[in-house]
Amino acid sequence: MASVDLHSVGLTYPDGTVGLDAIDLRIADGEFVALVGPSGSGKTTLLRTIAGFLAPTTGLIRIGESVVANATTNVAPERRHLGMVFQQHAVWPHWNVARNIAYPLKLTKVSRAEREERVAAVMQLVGLEGFGTRNPTTLSGGQRQRVALARALVGNPQVLLLDEALSALDEPLRDALRLELQSLTRSIGLTVVHVTHDRDEALALADRVVVLDQGSIQQIASPPELVSYPASASVARFMADATLFEGVVHAAGFTASNHPCAVGHDVLGTRFRFGEEGTLAVLPEDVRLDADIDGAAEVTSSLFGRSGNDVIVDWAGVRVRCRVTGRRPLVGERMTVTIHRALFYPTASLAVREGAVR
């Protein structure tokens, strides 16, 4: 197993488009890191650069003790000792399961006896014991993804790269494989870099989550810190579905511009100065709704959830997402909105917390 280090890694395409901008990231040996961000944020570009499919134009990448990319070097993907699993599992239907898994070993000219031994061991590891002679077309989607995972692991990679590896699977199979994947990678101490568009998946699996946007890192944090203390209003909106209000902090608290939202100083969870303009981010779980025929907000959507109802209200023209327990409000009900915690981000200089990168 190995660590992954990126120092000032940048990638600019021939047409001038910036794919990555000064990426600094250290992934520890045995750590599980998830890369998330909106479409076009650079998360897949970053993964492909680590893999060697893309060559950085600036900076340095080290895997373990070996420099695999810098100004003069770009080691080929097959020589980086990585395993990779894609969204589409790419299992060859004309080969049986064992032959599919053994393919990387055959490429590196591992002896037949050793191939058979290692394939049997990895099949047991991923729960495919006894499936060696099966035709892949007879397997379920989850079983085929296990074949792809076994093929990635059979070569004893230093690092496992996952590119939307679970996104093609339906729930609850996807949820079951998340648990198995986490248990498996931790049991063998494998370093994992996982690209996903599923925020809940990233938070559930990763030791740390890296949020990217426009090719730059916006925040690096543990899941609890990321959800509770986003480094910016944009991260709060992307990761936690926060509602954003523009306004100013004055002697009485924060007052939104052209909106009735106002909160006292005791509600603000970040530093501020009187007279500062900025953005207030309100997380769904920090909103209380009370039924009130004269309430200023109207319920426009109300969905049942196991850990709380997901409710959206229209509050003076702003859609506010709330997570409420107890009785589920009905669409059309009038509500009073109370904010009991919020994060304020000054326009001039955003608050930067430990673990955040700006």
Instruction: Using the 3D structure, point to which of 228, 251, 268 is the last residue of a domain.
Output: 228
Residue 349 has pLDDT above 80, yes or no: no
pLDDT of residue 350: 41
Whether residue 268 lies inside any domain: the answer is yes
Q: What is the mean pLDDT of the chain?
A: 90
**223/274 same-domain check:** no
If you average pLDDT over residues 24-32, what whole number do you get? 96
Residues 221 and 238 in one domain: no
Please report the pLDDT score of residue 43 as a whole number. 95
Would you say residue 222 lies in a domain? yes
Give percent above pLDDT 90 in the chain: 70
Residue-level pLDDT at 270: 66
Residue after which a domain boundary falls, among 176, 211, 228? 228
Domain count, the chain: 2
Tokens of 152: 């990635």
- Find tokens 């009991």 and name the residue: 340
pLDDT, position 185: 87
Question: Per residue in 310-330, is it b (16+ CB within 10 Å) or e — as a string?
Answer: bbbbebeebebbbbbeeeebe
User: Are the C-beta atoms of 331 and 337 separated by less than 8 Å?
Assistant: no
Model confidence pLDDT, tens digit, residues 209-263: 999 999 999 999 999 999 888 999 999 999 999 999 999 999 889 999 999 999 9
pLDDT at 75: 95
Position 328 scores a pLDDT of 94
Return the higher-pLDDT residue of 215 and 187: 215
Residue 294 identity: D
Q: List % helix, strand, coil for the chain (3-state, nearest 5).
A: 25, 35, 40
Does residue 340 share a domain with residue 216?
A: no
Note whether 223 and 238 are same-domain residues.
Answer: no
* pLDDT score recorded for residue 48: 95
pLDDT at residue 357 in the model: 34
Starting at the earlier edge strand, list the strands of the sheet with 208-213: 82-86, 159-163, 191-195, 32-36, 208-213, 216-221
Q: Would the pLDDT of 351 be above 60?
A: no
307 pLDDT tier (thresholds 50, 70, 90) = confident
Q: What percent of the chain has pLDDT over 70?
A: 96
- Same domain assignment for residues 281 and 172: no
* Mean pLDDT of all residues in 22-40: 96
Range of the domain at 237: 233-346
Confidence check: pLDDT of 4 > 90? yes
Average pLDDT, integer, range 311-326:
96
Tokens 């599919």 locate to 100
Mean predicted confidence (pLDDT) in 202-209? 94
d(CA 43, CA 19): 9
Q: Do 222 and 273 sit in the same domain of this protein? A: no
Alpha carbon distance, N-terminus to C-terminus of the chain: 29
The CATH number of whichever domain residue 161 belongs to comes to: 3.40.50.300
Cα-trace Rg, the chain = 24
Q: Please say which residue of 228, 253, 269 terminates a domain.
A: 228
pLDDT bin (cut points 50, 70, 90) of residue 356 is very low
Q: Are residues 107 and 89 in the same domain?
A: yes
User: Shortest CA distance to 241 belongs to which of 203, 276, 294?
Assistant: 203
Distance CA 320, CA 61 (A): 42
Q: How confident is the model at residue 348 (pLDDT cuts 50, 70, 90)?
A: low
Q: Are residues 292 and 260 in the same domain?
A: yes
Instruction: Look up residue 5 and give its two tokens.
Output: 């280090």
Question: What would the pLDDT profile of 163-174 be if each residue is shown by its tens digit?
Answer: 988 877 777 777
